[in-house]
Amino acid sequence: MAVAPGATVDTVLLEHESGMFLMAGPITTINFYTGDAAAAEAFLRDRLASVAKANPWICGRLVNDKKKHGKLTAIRYSPDVPSIHDLFQVDRCGRYFCSRRARYVSRPLP
């Protein structure tokens, strides 16, 4: 699909993907590594950039545009090489307390 540079593409989700499916909580992940942190960060950042280049929709946002898609939800993304800045973050300053010894609890949806 040819798209002008900087333009976005909307891919409409299926009806069941636009309904109850979206009420589930987000998936978040914390990974703990040992060894050279800079090397691990460089590897993971490059790998995520490769995946995003092949699958630009992973950097997209869910949108509800009733004029374009009616009651359905769409994922809006740019087919240009996406920025992974918002997808990949490293806590270098210890702002977040995460520990392998901490007891993490799965919280059910209300």
21 in a structural domain = yes
Only one residue has tokens 């995520």, namely 48
User: What is the CA angle 51-57-60, rounded to 5?
Assistant: 120
61 in a structural domain = yes
Range(s) of the domain holding residue 69: 9-77
Positive or negative, the CA dihedral 42, 45, 49, 51 is: positive
Domain count, the chain: 1
pTM assigned to the model? 0.62
50 in a structural domain = yes
40 in a structural domain = yes
pLDDT band at 67 (very low <50, low <70, confident <90, very high): very high
Distance, in Å, from the CA atom of 48 to the CA atom of 91, rounded to the nearest integer, reads: 17
58 in a structural domain = yes
Segment of 15-24, 51-60, 75-84 carrying the highest mean pLDDT: 51-60
Enumerate the β-bridge partners of residue 77. Answer: 9
